[in-house]
Amino acid sequence: MELARRKTAAAQPAGPTTEASLEELAELAASAGAEVVETTRQVREAPEAATLLGSGKVAELASRVGALKADVVVFDHELTPTQQRNLEKTLAAKVIDRTQLILDIFARRARTREGRLQVELAQLQYLLPRLTGRGISMSRLGGGIGTRGPGETQLETDRRRIARRIRRLEEELEHVRTSRAVHRRRRSAIPLATVALVGYTNAGKSTLFNRLTAAGVLADAKVFATLDPTVRALTLPSRRRVLLSDTVGFIRNLPTTLVKAFRATLEEITEAGLVLHLVDAASPHASLQATHVAEVLAEIGAAAIPRLLVLNKIDRLAPDDPVLEGLERNASEGAVRISALTGAGVQELLKAIDQRLPLDPIVRASFRLPLERGSEISLLHQCGNVLDARYSETACEIEADVPASLRNRLLKFVSGSRS
């Protein structure tokens, strides 16, 4: 779907997060290439079945759409197919809801074949129940038993074609899921822990990922700037190597179709040894965004994975900012302050990752190796933090902090160890 240049956004009934919701909707629209010319909202005890809004509000909205010459109206509320058709007819403009807007952004940003498959599946699952009445050519031309018109025949044909395509996409994504599982098993054969980087969209995940790994991932101020997962090796202060994975950004009320479609990607999070939950601490809605991310993690079965809260963009805040202090108080898993843009606090973050990772912990050990075992001596320098090295005519004595797996590998050379 190609979004028009101008849009008017309409929100769901007011609540404690209405302003934040409208701001986010405007940001989503801007990311889709739109210019937001006005926002409006209505407070109702219950939505109107036919149009979501009350009849008076619909008439008012139609007047504003005409006056502003808006091409598209975006609702921050999921619309039923009937509501969408009725609103388009009354407003004489294209009507889309939050889910459709997010799907459009995802379609624009997906780069890999896997990403495109996932987005197409989500789009088709969204479209299938909305085929009825989409245009005159699909309308029923007859009424009563035995009077099926050519329009309904075309509708059924479209439904069958979309259903076949959905099945094919699900099969292809199942192959992707199987392939990812194979890769994870291969990685697990090597003692490399995986750290998953998660956070609300536009929290700075790609900027931090690039700073830690020099991966060159696109970092943009727009929401959902990157969708496709990236995995890179990262060396911690202990010289232990881990795998850092960057995933799609989360958002409030992430459409269910997207959660299902991106299951293969999100499984990278569920297999991680540690989750880095990145929060834009400079956002006025930081606490609310952190809550939404926690909800999505619970939804995909990752709530029990050890987590470290990373408070980003501290370069925009004072050290004693009450927001920072409040987020830290509520972080039972611990918190680290950083600026992914300037690099402040990044070394402290790496040390915290070292301390929190449950897989292959760091131990202190003393080794005595014959001088002819040069490859093992080199390995200790490459993969461990050598504290002391003494050479004699026949041997090399090394004291170092090393991963437990490396100590076990060189166990016959261990002369003593202490934690």
pTM above threshold 0.85: no
Q: Please write the tens of the pLDDT for every residue from 63-94.
A: 999 999 999 999 988 888 889 889 999 999 99
For 227, what's the count of Cα atoms within 13 Å in the CB-facing half-sphere?
A: 24
Q: Let me know whether 216 and 150 are in one domain.
A: no
| Position 210 in a domain | yes
355 pLDDT band, cuts 50/70/90, is confident
At residue 227, the pLDDT reads 57
Q: Let me know whether 62 and 119 are in one domain.
A: no
325 pLDDT band, cuts 50/70/90, is confident
Residues 388 and 373: their CA atoms lie apart, in Å, by 18
Spatial CA neighbour of 317 closest among 355, 369, 282: 282
| Position 153 in a domain | yes
30 pLDDT band, cuts 50/70/90, is confident
Spatial CA neighbour of 36 closest among 1, 10, 62: 10
Q: Please write the tens of the pLDDT for every residue from 181-224.
A: 676 666 555 556 789 999 988 888 888 998 998 765 555 545 55
135 pLDDT band, cuts 50/70/90, is very low
Q: Let me know whether 34 and 61 are in one domain.
A: yes
| Position 1 in a domain | no
Domain end call among 304, 323, 356:
356
Segment 118-134 shows an average pLDDT of: 78
Q: Let me know whether 368 and 352 are in one domain.
A: no
Instruction: Report whether pLDDT(120) > 50.
Output: yes
- For 234, the token pair is 């990262």
For 289, what's the count of Cα atoms within 13 Å in the CB-facing half-sphere?
A: 26
Element (H, E) at 66: helix 55-68
At residue 418, the pLDDT reads 45
Domain end call among 320, 337, 356:
356
Segment 393-419 shows an average pLDDT of: 81
Domain end call among 334, 356, 378:
356
Q: Which domain holds residue 84?
A: 6-106
Which is more confidently placed, 173 or 372? Answer: 372
Q: Let me know whether 279 and 375 are in one domain.
A: no
Instruction: Report whether pLDDT(400) > 50.
Output: yes
Q: Please write the tens of the pLDDT for every residue from 331-353.
A: 777 899 999 999 999 999 999 99
Instruction: Report whether pLDDT(107) > 70.
Output: yes
- The CATH number of the domain holding residue 68 is 3.40.50.11060
At residue 156, the pLDDT reads 79
Which is more confidently placed, 315 or 247? Answer: 315
- For 42, the token pair is 């209505």
Q: Please write the tens of the pLDDT for every residue from 212-251.
A: 987 655 555 455 555 556 788 888 887 778 888 887 778 7
Tell me the C-alpha to C-alpha distance, in Å, between residue 328 and each of 87, 201, 279, 286: 45, 20, 11, 12
At residue 344, the pLDDT reads 94
Segment 161-179 shows an average pLDDT of: 86
Over pLDDT 90: what percentage of the chain?
A: 23
DSSP labels for 140-154?
Answer: ----STT---HHHHH
Q: Let me know whether 90 and 237 are in one domain.
A: no
Look at the chain and report how many structural domains it folds into: 4
Instruction: Report whether pLDDT(305) > 70.
Output: yes
Q: Let me know whether 334 and 202 are in one domain.
A: yes
Segment 129-149 shows an average pLDDT of: 49
309 pLDDT band, cuts 50/70/90, is very high
Which is more confidently placed, 419 or 213? Answer: 213
Q: Let me know whether 41 and 125 are in one domain.
A: no
Segment 158-178 shows an average pLDDT of: 86
At residue 11, the pLDDT reads 46
Q: Which residues contact 258 (CB under 8 A, 6 or more apart)?
A: 102, 103, 106, 118, 122
DSSP labels for 289-316?
Answer: HHHHHHHHHHHTT-TTS-EEEEEE-GGG
Over pLDDT 70: what percentage of the chain?
A: 79
At residue 232, the pLDDT reads 85
Are the beta carbons of 314 and 337 closer than 8 angstroms?
yes
Instruction: Report whether pLDDT(160) > 50.
Output: yes
Are the beta carbons of 30 and 36 closer than 8 angstroms?
yes
| Position 230 in a domain | yes
| Position 257 in a domain | yes
Segment 100-122 shows an average pLDDT of: 80
- The CATH number of the domain holding residue 347 is 3.40.50.300
